[in-house]
Structure 1
Amino acid sequence: MSLFDKGWIDLVFEGRNKSYGAYKLRSENPKTTVIALACGAFLFSAMVAAPLIYSELKESLAKNDGPVVDEKIELVEIPDEPVEVEELPPPPPEVKIVQAPKSVVDEVKFKPLEAEDKKKIVEPIISQEDLKDATPSNQTKAADLSAGDINIDVYAGDLDKGVEPATPSDEPINYAALQVKPEFPGGMDKFYEFVRKNFRNPDVDRETNLKITVSFVVERDGSLSNIKVLKDPGYGAGKEAERVLKSLKTKWNPGIQNGKPVRANYILPITMKIQPN
C-alpha cells in the first residue's frame, strides 16, 4: 500500500479519534505539500529573476533619460533686516551763566560850555546943537579919546551861567554798553539756583530739554520790570519762567553809567532739563 494513499491513513487511525488534528493534517498533507512546493518554486524563480529584471530596468532608464547636468547650488544668505535703534538725545548741558562782554565804550564826559560875557556898546547920541558948532572939513581926524569916557554897559542876562547839562534819558540802556553791569547779589549762580528751585516742571512723557529766552529791565532800585518771553518752547514753560521772575523779591545791583544808576536791558537764556513724572 502506498504511503500517500488515503487508505493507509484510515488504517492507522482506525479505532481512534479522527477529529483530532493529526488525522486532518495527515489527510491534507498531499495538498499542503503541493502548495508549499509551488510557493517555494515561485520564490526561487523570483529571487533568480530579480537581479536580471533590475539590470534591464536600469539600462532602459539610462537610455531614456537625458544627459545628467551637474549643477552647483549656491546658498544665498539673506541679510537680516536692520533694526532701527532710536538714538536718545544727549543729556542737556547744565545751566550756564552767560556773561555779557565787557563794554569797550570809553566814558565821554562833556564839560558844560561857559558863555562869555556879552558886552553892549552904547553909541553917543549927537544932537542938532552939537552939529551947529562943528567946523566943516574934508579931512579926517583921529578921535580924541581923552575928551571923555566911553561907557560900556554889561548885558545883564543869564548867559553868564553857561550851558546846563542835559537831563539823562529814562530809556533803558543796553546791557553791553554799561560801564558797570547790573549784578544779582551773590552772583548769577545764586540767581539760577533761585530759578531752578521755584520752576514748576510741566508734565512730559520723556526726558525733555526746554530752552527759554526772557528779557527784563533792571530798574535803578534793582527791581525787575517789563518781563517778556522772547522764546517759548511750549509746555507752558514761558509763562512759568515769567511767573518765577515776577516772584523774585531780592533786588539786583543796578547798572551804573557816568557814576549814576540807570535802567538796563537784560536778555537771559534759561535751559531746563525736565524728567517725566
Structure 2
Amino acid sequence: MSRIDLTSLEWCELIFKDKNKNYGAYKMRQDLGRRQLAALVIVTCAAVAALTLPRLIRMAMPEQKEEMVEVTQLSMLEEPEVKDENIVRKVEPIAPPPALKSTIKFTAPVVKKDEEVSDEDELKSQQELTETKVQISIADVKGNDELNGKDIADLKEVITQAPEEVKEQPYTMVEQMPQYPGGITELLKYIAKNLRYPVIAQENGIQGRVIVRFVVTATGTVEQVQVMRSLDPNCDKEAVRVVQSLPKWIPGKQNGRNVPVYYTVPITFKLQ
C-alpha cells in the first residue's frame, strides 16, 4: 500500500469527489499544506531568536569596569585636638545684709518732786505687782534701729487670715463610688416616700422623668444639685427639693481617700 500524503491535492480531490466544492471546507483543506509550512517556519524563527537574542544584547552592550571605592573607617581617623581652656568667671562678692537689731524704745526717766508724784505713778512693791491684774509683756520688736524704735504698747495685734482652701473638683468615676445607706433600693424608697406630686402638673396631666445630678462630697453631704433633663418647672423644683433633703451618704474613695463624686438619679412622676 502506497504512503498517503494527507496534505496533497490528490487526497483533497479524492475526499471531495462528487461533493460540493464551493463549501469552505474544501478551500481550507486545499491550503492546509501551506499553512502548516508557514507555522513551522514561524516557530523555528522564534526559537532561534529567543536563543540568540541574549547573546547579541551582551555583545552590543559595552563592558562595565568595576570601580573599587576605598572606605575609611571612623576609628582610623585622627581625633581632633581639644584645647583645654580654663574659663575664669569673675564672681563679685555679695555684701551681707545689715544685722537686725532687737530694740525697744527707751523712755528717758523724768525727775519730779515727791509732792508732784501721784499714787498711781509710784513704784509698786513685788506683792502689789503679784496681786495686780496688769500683765507685763516681754515681747520684742525685731528689725528696728535705735532711732525708729517702737514702744510695745503702741503695737497692735495683726491678725492674719489663713488662705482659703481650694476645693477639689468632683470626679465622674472613682475606684469606689458613693453609696446611699442601705443601697439603691433604700434611695428609691426615700424618694418615693418624700416626693410630692405638684398639683398643677397633676391637673395638666404632666408625667415623665426628671434627671438630677448632684455631688456627694468627701464628707458624704449632697451639694450642687442640678437638673440635667427637665420635665416641667414645678416637677423640676420638687425633684431638686427631694434630692437636697437626702441624708448623708457613704462618700466615694480614690486611692484610699474620700473625694467628691458626681452622682445621677432619675426621678419619675407618674399619675396613678
Larger of the two Rg values belongs to structure: 1
TM-score bin (small chain): 0.3 to 0.5
Could you state the TM-score of these two structures normalised by the residue count of structure 1?
A: 0.36
Higher relative contact order (CA 8 A, sep 6+): 1
Could you state the TM-score of these two structures normalised by the residue count of structure 2?
A: 0.36
